[in-house]
């Protein structure tokens, strides 16, 4: 299984939310400008996971929506074209 398959999967979606939340929390606890920048950057994986968007999908010629990405990857695995 390729890393992009893991990121696009349901567990990967949960992982993105958890990582985004952790980065936001760490950045806010840090309290300085670098911490605020990390907190702002943590919004990206949090929002992507919450909205079920796979930002790496277009990089591997797949759809952006998570459900469509998972369906396409499953179909490609079934036909051996992955």
Averaged pLDDT of the chain: 90
Indicate the domain borders of the chain. Answer: 3-79
**Could you read off the pLDDT of 48-64 as tens digits, one per residue?**
999 999 888 888 888 89
pTM: 0.79
**Could you read off the pLDDT of 60-80 as tens digits, one per residue?**
888 899 899 889 888 888 888
Integer CA distances (angstroms), 45 to 18, 76, 77, 81, in order: 9, 26, 26, 28
């Amino acid at each position: 299984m390729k890393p992009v398959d893991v990121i696009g999967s349901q567990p990967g979606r949960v992982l993105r939310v958890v990582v985004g939340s952790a980065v936001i929390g760490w950045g806010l606890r840090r309290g300085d400008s670098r911490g605020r920048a990390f907190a702002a950057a943590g919004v990206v994986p949090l929002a992507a996971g919450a909205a079920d968007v796979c930002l790496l999908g277009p990089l591997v010629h797949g759809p952006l929506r998570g459900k469509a990405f998972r369906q396409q990857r499953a179909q490609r695995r079934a036909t051996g074209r992955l």
